[in-house]
Structure formats: structure tokens, C-alpha cells
């Protein structure tokens, strides 16, 4: 019997399974989607895709992957962020964070999701502590004082899995959360994130840029290749279709140019645009009996500051620490009391990140001239008041969690 079952094999589930395996904990990983066949040889033949979606990894997240022995492979398609610029369209305020002023090499790394997924999946498949079952649909989850039972279907075959502990990392609309009867607070931001990759005439010089505009908060992040940049642009729900499709490529590039200005030179090329509705989903509980919620099943937040995935990795790191300590004392790894302790231990970091991201979205969405004056005055203060930058930089890098 596996010591831990993880439901959900996305980036969080794959990463967590590798962390648990490194702690000598046996894992069964269940994923509804059928994974592609990826071999080590294919990793060597990988080429950057112009349409690749990306994640900004904080320094803490890089440290987590380094401890797993993965960073040497991951950094092949990662780009460091050495400066962060924050401005508002039509405003006078601006704030800058410089890595050299904070005595660090960089604030984090932007990595292509396609590459991150390939490396994680390859390592999971090679790890004899992890049993990976993909293409499996969980249909029921029940538990008693001693165990958790999962019923599932795979190729019309009924499967039953029993474990000491289940970690539900099955996304924003988590089946496991619903099966447990756990409610969640849902806030629809009435926004849709437009995600793509662009090419500019000037090099990015490792600068990450957050530009607040009437359309929404535009994030431009550096990518491998000196003129490639990642775009995450939340726009008002219902307006997204005008930015999608190859027939709207130039219109999208023109809008970027108008919002961003000439700092990047000319926006020359755009990849395919993807869009995702944005909402905040906060579970009322993250631990129930022998089941703990992880990733978007526990907390889905706005991507405005790129903190969501990094927060999930910190959650996973702490949970593994708790479980490892249980093993050292030959204690029950699925102890409901232990899982509640984990939940309490993570609340301060989670609430801080959630409040910050939500506050930024709401604060910059209002175009009232007086509020805009206050915001820009705040950006100026951020840039000149001693002590603020180091504190914000450490939180952004995940080093004060």
C-alpha cells in the first residue's frame, strides 16, 4: 500500500511527488489526463517554442528544485530576472527593484512550462518510489479513522486505491474537495488572462515589467533568447476575443505597443494567444481527516504578481517536512492532527500573499483620478523610502515565507 496518494499530476503534483520520494516516502500519483511519452533522448532535442507558456520561479522555488537535483536541467530554458520595473500607464510614479542593490544575483527565473513539465515528468517516471497512473478518473473518495479509499475508472476498469494519506492537487474545481463536502469562497474578477510570447526589437536585458493600464495589469517577463518576452495580460471578461486568433496579431501587437511604450523598441511578433478566466477560489479548509488540499484545490489566486505557483511549492515543502518528521518517529503519516498542524503553519504566508495579490488587482482596477494620484504617489514612495525595497524583494523571492 502506498504511504501517500496524490490526486492531480500537474506541476504541483509532479513536484510534490518528487519531494516526497526524496524523503523516502512511497507515492502513487493519479492524473486524469494521459501524459505524452517523453524519454530522456527527447529532452535533449527540445527547442524553445514561440507559443510556450511560462512560469516565474522565485529564488525559494529555484532552491527547492536545486535540492531535488533538477535545477541543472531546468535552467537550460530559464532566464533570470535581474530588474523589476513597476509603472502605471499615464501616471508619473514608477518603482524599480535591482538585484545588485539587494545583493542577490537575480530575483528569480522565468521558465517555459513545456520544459518544466518535461523535466518533472521524466524524473517522476524514472523514480522507483513513485507509481504513476495517468488517464485515470477519480469517481469517489471516502475515509475513516484509519485510511482513505479512492475509487476510480481507467479504460472502463474500476480501480480501488487505499492509503494512509491522500493529497488532493486536482485543481481549482477539485473533485476531492467537493467529495469531502468542503466549501470554497469564490470571487470572479471579471477578467480573462491573455497569455503568449512576443518578440521585440530591443533585448529584454533581464528586466521584468509590471505595467498597470486601463485594460488590465500587463506583465512582461524575459525569456531565453534576448528578444523573447512572456506576456500575461488580464483584460475585462467579454473583450478577449478581439485579441485572439492570427487575424488579430497586429491589433494585439499595437495594443501592447500603446500600453508599454517604446522601452522594448517595436513589438515585432506574437505567438498564439491563450486565455484563462481569472477568479480567486479559497477553500474553507485545507485539511479534513486524512486528506489535505494542495495547489489550486486549496487556493487559486490572481496571477498579477506571479506568486501562485511559488506559494504552492512552499506549501509542498512544508508538508513534506511535517511528514518526514512523522516517519522519523514511526508515527502515523496521515494523522488528522498532523495535517491540521500543517494547515495552521501555512496560514500566515498564504494569507499575506492572497491579500497582496487581491489588493493589487482591486487597487489598480479603479481608474478614479484621485486614486490614481494616490497609487502613483505610493510608487514614488516605494522607490525612495529606505527599508521598503529589501522587505518587498525578500517576500517576492519567497525568502520571508
- Does residue 274 surpass a pLDDT of 80? yes
For 185-210, what is the mean pLDDT? 92
- Does residue 290 surpass a pLDDT of 80? yes
- Does residue 314 surpass a pLDDT of 60? yes
Residue 146 has what pLDDT?
Answer: 93
Residue 374 has what pLDDT?
Answer: 55
Query: Strand locations in 284-361, DSSP E?
Result: 287-288, 291-293, 299-300
Residue 385 has what pLDDT?
Answer: 53
Residue 398 has what pLDDT?
Answer: 59
- Does residue 10 surpass a pLDDT of 80? yes
Residue 90 half-sphere exposure, CB side, CA atoms within 13 Å? Answer: 11
- Does residue 225 surpass a pLDDT of 60? yes
Instruction: Quote the mean pLDDT of the chain.
Output: 86
Instruction: Taking the CA atoms of 49, 55, 58 and 59 in sequence, report the sign of the dihedral they define.
Output: negative
Residue 49 has what pLDDT?
Answer: 47
For 121-145, what is the mean pLDDT? 95
- Does residue 222 surpass a pLDDT of 50? yes
More confident residue, 115 or 19: 19
Specify whether the CB–CB gap between 108 and 75 falls below 8 A: no
Residue 172 has what pLDDT?
Answer: 94
Choose the weakest-confidence range: 168-177, 204-213, 222-231. 204-213
pLDDT band at 302 (very low <50, low <70, confident <90, very high): confident
> What does the pLDDT look like over 41-100, one tens digit per residue?
455 454 444 445 788 999 999 999 999 999 999 998 899 999 888 777 666 566 777 788
For 245-250, what is the mean pLDDT? 94
pLDDT band at 230 (very low <50, low <70, confident <90, very high): very high
- Does residue 8 surpass a pLDDT of 80? yes
Choose the weakest-confidence range: 31-45, 73-87, 210-224, 320-334. 31-45
Residue 54 has what pLDDT?
Answer: 84
- Does residue 289 surpass a pLDDT of 90? yes
**Helix (DSSP H) and strand (DSSP E) numbers for the chain:** 11, 21
Residue 87 has what pLDDT?
Answer: 75
End-to-end CA distance of the chain: 34
Specify whether the CB–CB gap between 236 and 193 falls below 8 A: no
What's this model's pTM, rounded to 2 decimal places? 0.88
Show the cell assigned to 383. Answer: 522607490
Choose the weakest-confidence range: 5-9, 206-210, 342-346. 206-210
Residue 253 CA to residue 245 CA, distance in Å, equals 12
Residue 6 has what pLDDT?
Answer: 98
Query: Domains of the chain by range and CATH?
Result: 4-47+120-186+281-361 (3.50.50.60), 72-112+189-278+364-396 (3.30.9.10)
Residue 63 has what pLDDT?
Answer: 94
Residue 370 has what pLDDT?
Answer: 52
Q: Which of 76, 260, 278 is nearest to 187 (CA)?
A: 278
Amino acid at each position: 500500500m502506498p504511504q501517500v496518494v496524490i490526486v492531480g499530476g500537474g506541476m504541483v503534483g509532479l513536484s510534490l511527488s518528487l519531494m516526497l520520494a526524496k524523503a523516502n516516502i512511497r507515492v502513487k500519483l493519479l492524473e486524469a489526463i494521459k501524459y505524452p511519452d517523453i524519454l530522456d533522448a527527447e529532452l535533449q532535442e527540445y527547442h524553445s517554442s514561440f507559443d510556450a507558456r511560462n512560469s516565474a520561479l522565485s529564488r525559494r522555488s529555484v532552491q527547492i528544485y536545486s535540492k531535488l537535483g533538477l535545477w541543472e536541467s531546468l535552467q537550460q530554458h530559464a532566464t533570470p530576472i535581474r530588474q523589476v520595473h513597476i509603472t502605471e500607464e499615464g501616471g508619473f510614479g514608477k518603482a524599480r527593484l535591482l538585484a545588485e542593490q539587494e545583493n542577490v544575483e537575480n530575483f528569480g527565473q522565468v521558465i517555459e512550462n513545456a520544459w518544466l513539465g518535461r523535466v518533472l515528468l521524466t524524473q517522476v517516471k524514472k523514480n522507483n518510489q513513485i507509481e504513476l497512473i495517468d488517464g485515470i478518473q477519480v469517481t469517489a473518495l471516502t475515509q475513516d479513522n484509519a485510511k482513505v479509499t479512492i475509487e476510480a475508472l481507467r479504460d472502463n476498469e474500476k480501480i480501488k486505491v487505499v492509503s494512509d494519506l491522500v493529497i488532493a492537487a486536482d485543481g481549482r474545481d477539485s473533485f476531492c474537495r467537493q467529495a469531502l463536502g468542503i466549501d470554497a469562497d469564490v470571487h470572479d474578477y471579471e477578467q480573462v488572462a491573455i497569455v503568449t510570447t512576443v518578440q521585440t526589437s530591443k533585448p529584454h536585458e533581464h528586466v521584468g515589467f509590471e505595467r498597470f493600464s486601463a485594460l488590465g495589469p500587463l506583465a512582461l517577463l524575459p525569456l531565453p533568447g534576448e528578444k523573447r518576452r512572456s506576456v500575461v495580460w488580464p483584460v475585462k471578461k467579454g473583450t478577449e476575443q478581439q485579441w485572439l486568433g492570427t487575424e488579430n496579431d497586429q491589433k494585439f501587437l499595437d495594443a501592447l505597443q500603446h500600453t508599454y511604450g517604446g522601452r522594448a523598441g517595436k513589438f515585432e511578433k506574437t505567438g498564439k494567444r491563450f486565455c484563462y478566466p481569472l477568479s480567486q477560489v479559497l477553500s474553507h479548509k485545507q485539511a479534513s481527516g486524512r486528506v489535505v488540499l494542495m495547489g489550486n484545490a486549496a487556493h487559486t489566486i490572481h496571477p498579477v504578481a506571479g506568486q501562485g505557483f511559488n506559494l504552492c511549492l512552499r506549501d509542498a515543502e512544508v508538508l513534506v517536512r511535517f511528514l518526514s518528521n512523522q516517519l522519523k518517529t514511526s508515527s502515523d503519516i496521515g494523522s488528522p492532527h498532523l495535517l491540521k498542524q500543517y494547515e495552521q503553519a501555512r496560514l500566515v504566508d498564504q494569507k499575506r500573499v492572497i491579500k497582496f495579490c487581491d489588493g493589487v488587482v482591486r487597487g489598480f482596477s479603479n481608474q478614479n483620478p484621485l486614486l490614481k494620484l494616490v497609487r502613483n504617489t505610493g510608487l514614488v514612495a516605494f522607490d525612495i523610502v529606505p527599508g521598503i525595497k529589501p522587505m518587498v524583494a525578500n517576500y517576492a523571492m519567497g525568502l520571508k515565507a
